[in-house]
Protein backbone atom coordinates (compact mmCIF):
# COMPACT_ATOMS: atom_id res chain seq x y z
CA UNK A 1 0.00 0.00 0.00
CA UNK A 2 1.48 3.31 -0.99
CA UNK A 3 -1.54 5.26 0.12
CA UNK A 4 -1.35 8.04 -2.49
CA UNK A 5 -4.75 8.72 -4.09
CA UNK A 6 -4.63 9.46 -7.81
CA UNK A 7 -7.62 11.18 -9.38
CA UNK A 8 -6.86 9.55 -12.77
CA UNK A 9 -7.97 6.19 -11.36
CA UNK A 10 -11.34 5.13 -10.05
CA UNK A 11 -11.76 4.89 -6.28
CA UNK A 12 -13.89 2.34 -4.47
CA UNK A 13 -14.91 2.68 -0.84
CA UNK A 14 -16.30 -0.04 1.43
CA UNK A 15 -17.61 0.62 4.95
CA UNK A 16 -18.13 -2.21 7.40
CA UNK A 17 -18.58 -3.05 11.04
CA UNK A 18 -15.60 -4.83 12.60
CA UNK A 19 -11.94 -5.31 11.76
CA UNK A 20 -12.35 -8.98 10.78
CA UNK A 21 -14.93 -8.16 8.12
CA UNK A 22 -12.84 -5.24 6.87
CA UNK A 23 -9.70 -7.40 6.69
CA UNK A 24 -11.57 -10.08 4.74
CA UNK A 25 -12.92 -7.42 2.38
CA UNK A 26 -9.51 -5.85 1.76
CA UNK A 27 -7.92 -9.23 1.13
CA UNK A 28 -10.66 -10.20 -1.33
CA UNK A 29 -10.39 -6.88 -3.16
CA UNK A 30 -6.63 -6.91 -3.65
CA UNK A 31 -6.55 -10.59 -4.61
CA UNK A 32 -9.42 -10.28 -7.11
CA UNK A 33 -8.24 -7.41 -9.27
CA UNK A 34 -5.32 -5.09 -9.92
CA UNK A 35 -6.19 -2.51 -7.28
CA UNK A 36 -4.31 -0.86 -4.44
CA UNK A 37 -5.63 -0.15 -0.96
CA UNK A 38 -5.03 3.58 -0.48
CA UNK A 39 -6.81 4.29 2.82
CA UNK A 40 -8.10 2.56 5.91
CA UNK A 41 -9.80 4.55 8.65
CA UNK A 42 -12.11 4.24 11.63
CA UNK A 43 -15.40 6.03 11.05
CA UNK A 44 -16.82 5.59 14.54
CA UNK A 45 -16.82 2.98 17.25
CA UNK A 46 -16.73 -0.38 15.47
CA UNK A 47 -17.24 1.03 11.98
CA UNK A 48 -14.33 1.11 9.55
CA UNK A 49 -13.77 2.13 5.95
CA UNK A 50 -11.24 1.10 3.30
CA UNK A 51 -10.62 2.74 -0.06
CA UNK A 52 -9.06 1.15 -3.13
CA UNK A 53 -8.00 2.59 -6.45
CA UNK A 54 -7.26 1.32 -9.93
CA UNK A 55 -8.83 1.16 -13.36
CA UNK A 56 -12.63 1.41 -13.28
CA UNK A 57 -13.31 -2.21 -14.31
CA UNK A 58 -10.80 -3.52 -11.76
CA UNK A 59 -12.26 -1.39 -8.96
CA UNK A 60 -15.79 -2.55 -9.82
CA UNK A 61 -14.72 -6.22 -9.81
CA UNK A 62 -12.72 -5.79 -6.58
CA UNK A 63 -15.54 -3.95 -4.82
CA UNK A 64 -18.02 -6.71 -5.69
CA UNK A 65 -15.65 -9.34 -4.28
CA UNK A 66 -14.88 -7.24 -1.21
CA UNK A 67 -18.54 -6.61 -0.45
CA UNK A 68 -19.30 -10.33 -0.71
CA UNK A 69 -16.43 -11.16 1.68
CA UNK A 70 -17.54 -8.50 4.15
CA UNK A 71 -21.08 -9.91 4.15
CA UNK A 72 -19.68 -13.38 4.97
CA UNK A 73 -17.75 -12.13 8.00
CA UNK A 74 -19.74 -9.16 9.25
CA UNK A 75 -21.94 -6.24 8.35
CA UNK A 76 -21.57 -4.29 5.11
CA UNK A 77 -22.72 -0.70 5.62
CA UNK A 78 -21.91 0.71 2.19
CA UNK A 79 -19.90 0.16 -1.00
CA UNK A 80 -19.43 2.94 -3.54
CA UNK A 81 -17.42 3.56 -6.71
CA UNK A 82 -16.18 7.00 -7.80
CA UNK A 83 -15.14 6.66 -11.49
CA UNK A 84 -13.08 9.86 -11.87
CA UNK A 85 -12.86 11.68 -8.55
CA UNK A 86 -11.61 15.24 -8.51
CA UNK A 87 -8.10 15.79 -7.16
CA UNK A 88 -9.55 17.51 -4.09
CA UNK A 89 -11.86 14.58 -3.35
CA UNK A 90 -9.07 12.03 -3.81
CA UNK A 91 -6.79 14.04 -1.50
CA UNK A 92 -9.38 13.86 1.30
CA UNK A 93 -8.62 10.15 1.68
CA UNK A 94 -5.04 10.85 2.78
CA UNK A 95 -5.10 11.99 6.40
CA UNK A 96 -2.57 11.50 9.17
CA UNK A 97 -5.04 9.32 11.09
CA UNK A 98 -5.70 7.16 8.01
CA UNK A 99 -1.95 6.70 7.52
CA UNK A 100 -1.46 5.73 11.17
CA UNK A 101 -4.38 3.30 11.09
CA UNK A 102 -3.15 1.77 7.82
CA UNK A 103 0.29 1.18 9.39
CA UNK A 104 -1.32 -0.40 12.47
CA UNK A 105 -3.29 -2.83 10.27
CA UNK A 106 -0.09 -3.79 8.46
CA UNK A 107 1.46 -4.70 11.82
CA UNK A 108 -1.27 -7.26 12.52
CA UNK A 109 -0.33 -10.91 11.88
CA UNK A 110 -1.09 -11.47 8.20
CA UNK A 111 -1.79 -7.74 7.67
CA UNK A 112 -3.17 -6.65 4.29
CA UNK A 113 -0.52 -6.57 1.58
CA UNK A 114 -0.72 -5.46 -2.02
Which SS3 state, helix, strand or coil, does residue 1 take? Answer: coil
Comparing C-alpha atoms, which of 46, 39, 54 is closest to residue 92?
Answer: 39
The reported pLDDT for the residue numbered 109 is 67
Taking residue 61's Cβ as centre, other Cβ atoms within 10 Å add up to 18
- Quick: pLDDT tens for 39-63: 888 888 889 999 999 999 999 999 9
**What are the C-alpha distances in Å from 46 to residues 15, 57, 71?**
11, 30, 15
The reported pLDDT for the residue numbered 46 is 87
The reported pLDDT for the residue numbered 49 is 93
Amino acid sequence: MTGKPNSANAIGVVETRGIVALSAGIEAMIKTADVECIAIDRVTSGYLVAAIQGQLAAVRQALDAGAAAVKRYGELRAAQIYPRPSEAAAALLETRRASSFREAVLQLPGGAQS
